[in-house]
Structures are given as structure tokens and as C-alpha cells.
């Protein structure tokens, strides 16, 4: 699991070509469906189960990278 | 692990409301529709309740299988949308179906895991000596879902089912069950008499991310345990008939437990998540496939409670009726 791979998963989740770490996860793009799609993608690609509260609380793409790479 | 010998699922019937809605008519959010996998759902009319759908399914099963009503020694109604808070709906159904009076009749308040839990109860009663048990599992979530709640208003459909469990030598059903009540608020419908929770809605509320994570944590291990206890390899399983929570969940689970998604039978696209009815509904919807490979069927229910259960059974010689619309 690399930062670039997670950024691509975030991009796929919100249906854009690419994102960077500074992306702000506002309500327009980071709704309950996006959270579930992101959790599912991380589980399918890496077998990791993320804490939904952590994903819900994330403010930026960097937060999601940190949560995803935690304990690796 | 519970293995009950000498019991068989003899027949299954399902009834859905004839009224249906297309989700594409309700939202332009195609990403949501493709993720949950629900294209259309059948919705009960104002005066059509869970009990009505289950009764129609039961009447059809009794007629088509030519079941002697006096042989039915118990009726179990599994639902979270009963006819009344009291009395138990099973008691009313005994009279509607004109079943005998010396009968066991009770309700079970379970949802997503309700069918497999109900199969255990019915099988246990048959094992204890009853001739046959009528298991009715159904739900009308449309009565309790907030149409403005985007997490659930496109997901749920209404359905009622009837299953007859009987004695049969050389037939068995294996079960694994579990529960974690610490997650009870993840899917909840509070009532006016119980305001201990933080949930104050009069509608069903669901924390989708919490439920999704619970499923990923619990169900792969549940399936592993079930296969081990049943002495089955995952390649031995002909079909996985899981509670139709949502399509993304089913696909993620298939990958997590490493079973080809082709073995997962699906009904959620046409009927939505019908809670306790979703497993029998999926069986009836895929009856032509099951008839060709009826052995080693793995059923799994999981959700509200939070609770989970599996049942492994053959459906050989099981009468599986086409879905009735009423």
C-alpha cells in the first residue's frame, strides 16, 4: 500500500481522475456512500478493515492516507 | 455449531407486492444505484402488511404441496414489522390459515439474520417431535423508512415468505449463530416507550459505515467457521445465498472469503433489501439454477442486532415455488 495507491482509490471513490493530499473532504464529495465505497475498496485491495469513525472524521485526503497506512 | 439431524426444508414460497418502483425514477444518482445494486423494489400498498404477504405465500405453499393442515404443528413469524405490538402475529395467522388449535405459535423479532435463526428454531421443534413447522419470514420496510433518508430510502423492498420444515431421515441442517449487542444502535427503530438511546427518530435509522464494517469483521470468520464445522471446502459449496444487504457488501464479502462471485445468488437488483425475507426470496428468484445444483447450499444472514447466522443445507427435492405478486 502506497500513498499514490490510496490517492487513486480516493479519486476513484469520488469519480475524478486524480487528487492530491491536500484535497478537502467536504460534504459535497465525502458523503456516507463515499465512505462505504472507500472502506470497501481498501478492504478489497488490501484486506484491511478501517474504523468507520476515522474515515467519517477525515478532513483531507492526507487524513485518509494516515488512517489507511496506520499499523502497517 | 449446531447440527440438527432428521430435518429438511421441504418447501419455500414468497410473495411480493405487485406495486414496484424503479430507483432511476427517484434519483439521478446512478453511482448510488450501482453501488447498492437496487434497480427496482416492490412496495406494499397502504393496506398491505407483512402478515398479508406471508399468508399469501403460506396459502400457496400449502395448496401447491398439498399439505395437510393438521400436520402443521407450529407457526413461527419472523419480522420487525408485525401486525400489532401485541398480540403476536403468529397467533393471528393460525386463525387466518385455519390451522389447528393445538399448535405452537409465536413471533421472533429479528431482521437480516431472521431467516437462518428461524430455520434453527423450526428445525429444533421438528427434531423435538413435531411433524412439520411453518416458518414465515417477512418485512415491509417501506412502512418504517424515512423517504428523505438517502441511506435507506432506495435500498429496502417489501416481501413475505413461507417455508415448511419437516422430518426426513438422512437429512440435516447445520447452523452457526452469533450476536454482538454492543452495536445495537447501528440499525434501530426506537419507540415512544423507550428513549434510552441517542436515536430519537420515528423511522428506521442505519449507520451504513458501521454496519458495513461489522459485516467485514464478522462474516468472513463466520463463513470460515461454518465451512470447518460442516466439513466443507469453499469449493464444495454450490451456491452462497446471503442476506441481500447491498451489492457492494456482497461483492466485498465474496472477495474477502475468496469465493467466486458467480456462486453468489442475487435478487437485490429486482427486489432490494427485504430483510428477513431476502434469503427465501433469493432462493425462489433463482429456483431454476438451484434445481440443477441443489446440494451444499450456504445461507448467511447478518445485520440488525447486531446478529449473524448461517445454515448449510441441501435443497434437493425441496419444492421452490415461483415468486407470487399480489
Over residues B20-61, the pLDDT tens digits come to: 999 999 888 888 888 899 999 999 999 999 999 999 999 999
Query: Mutate which of B153, B216, B250 to disrupt the A interface (most A C-beta within 10 Å)?
Result: B216
Contacts of A28 in chain B (CB under 8 A): none
Residue of chain B nearest A13, judged by CA positions? B31
B269 — pLDDT class (breaks 50, 70, 90)? very high
Residue B23 C-alpha cell reads as: 430507483
- Say yes or no for a CB contact (<8 Å) between A43 and B208: no
Q: How far is A18 from chain B (nearest CA, A)?
A: 18
In this predicted structure, what is the pLDDT of residue B99? 98
User: Is B243 one of the catalytic residues?
Assistant: yes
B34–chain A Cβ distance below 8 A for any pair: no
Digit-coded pLDDT (tens) for A20-56: 999 999 888 888 889 999 999 999 999 899 988 889 8
For B67-105, b/e burial (b = at least 16 CB within 10 A) is beeeebbbbbbbbbbbbeeeebbbbbbbeebebeeebeb
Torsion angle (degrees, nearest 10) of CA B263, B37, B218, A52: 150
Digit-coded pLDDT (tens) for B294-321: 999 999 999 999 999 999 999 999 999 9
Residue A2: burial class (beta carbons within 10 Å; 0-12, 13-18, 19+) = exposed
Is residue B181 predicted with pLDDT exceeding 90?
A: yes
Contacts of A36 in chain B (CB under 8 A): 35, 208-209, 212, 248
- Say yes or no for a CB contact (<8 Å) between B210 and A32: no
Q: Which residue has the cell 445465498?
A: B241
B221–chain A Cβ distance below 8 A for any pair: no
Mean of the pLDDT values across residues B77-87? 95
Q: Which of A36, A55, A56 sits opposite B248 (nearest CB)?
A: A36
Amino acid at each position: 500500500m502506497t500513498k499514490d495507491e490510496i490517492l487513486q482509490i480516493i479519486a476513484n471513490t469520488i469519480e475524478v481522475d486524480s487528487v492530491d493530499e491536500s484535497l478537502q473532504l467536504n460534504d459535497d464529495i465525502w458523503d456516507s456512500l463515499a465512505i462505504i465505497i472507500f472502506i470497501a475498496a481498501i478492504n478489497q485491495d488490501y484486506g484491511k478493515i478501517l474504523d468507520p469513525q476515522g474515515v467519517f472524521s477525515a478532513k483531507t485526503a492526507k487524513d485518509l492516507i494516515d488512517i489507511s497506512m496506520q499499523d502497517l | 455449531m449446531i447440527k440438527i439431524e432428521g430435518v429438511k426444508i421441504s418447501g419455500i414460497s414468497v410473495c411480493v407486492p405487485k406495486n414496484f418502483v424503479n430507483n432511476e425514477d427517484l434519483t439521478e444518482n446512478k453511482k448510488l444505484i450501482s453501488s447498492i445494486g437496487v434497480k427496482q423494489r416492490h412496495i406494499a400498498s397502504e393496506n398491505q402488511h407483512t402478515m398479508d404477504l406471508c399468508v399469501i405465500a403460506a396459502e400457496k405453499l400449502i395448496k401447491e404441496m398439498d399439505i395437510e393442515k393438521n400436520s402443521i404443528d407450529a407457526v413461527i413469524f419472523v419480522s420487525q414489522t408485525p401486525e400489532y405490538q401485541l398480540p403476536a402475529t403468529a397467533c393471528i395467522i393460525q386463525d387466518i390459515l385455519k390451522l389447528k388449535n393445538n399448535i405452537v405459535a409465536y413471533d421472533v423479532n429479528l431482521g437480516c439474520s431472521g431467516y437462518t435463526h428461524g430455520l434453527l428454531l423450526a428445525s429444533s421443534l421438528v427434531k423435538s417431535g413435531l411433524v412439520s413447522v411453518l416458518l414465515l419470514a417477512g418485512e415491509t420496510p417501506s412502512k418504517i423508512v424515512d423517504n428523505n433518508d438517502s441511506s435507506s430510502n432506495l435500498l429496502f423492498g417489501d416481501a413475505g415468505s413461507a417455508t415448511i420444515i419437516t422430518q426426513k431421515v438422512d437429512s440435516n441442517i447445520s447452523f452457526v449463530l452469533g450476536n454482538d449487542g454492543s452495536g445495537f444502535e447501528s440499525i434501530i427503530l426506537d419507540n415512544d416507550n423507550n428513549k434510552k438511546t441517542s436515536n430519537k427518530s420515528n423511522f428506521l435509522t442505519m449507520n451504513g459505515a458501521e454496519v458495513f464494517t461489522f459485516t467485514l469483521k464478522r462474516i468472513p470468520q463466520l463463513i470460515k467457521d461454518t465451512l470447518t464445522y460442516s466439513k466443507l471446502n469453499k469449493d464444495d459449496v454450490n451456491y452462497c445465498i446471503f442476506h441481500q444487504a447491498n451489492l457492494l457488501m456482497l461483492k466485498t464479502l465474496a472477495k474477502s472469503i475468496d469465493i467466486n462471485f458467480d456462486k453468489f445468488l442475487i435478487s437485490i437488483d429486482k427486489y432490494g433489501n427485504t430483510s428477513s425475507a431476502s434469503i427465501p426470496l433469493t432462493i425462489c428468484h433463482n429456483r431454476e439454477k438451484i434445481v440443477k445444483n441443489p446440494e451444499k447450499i450456504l445461507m448467511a444472514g447478518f445485520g440488525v442486532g447486531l446478529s449473524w447466522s448461517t445454515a448449510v443445507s441441501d435443497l434437493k427435492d425441496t419444492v421452490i415455488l415461483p415468486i407470487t405478486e399480489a
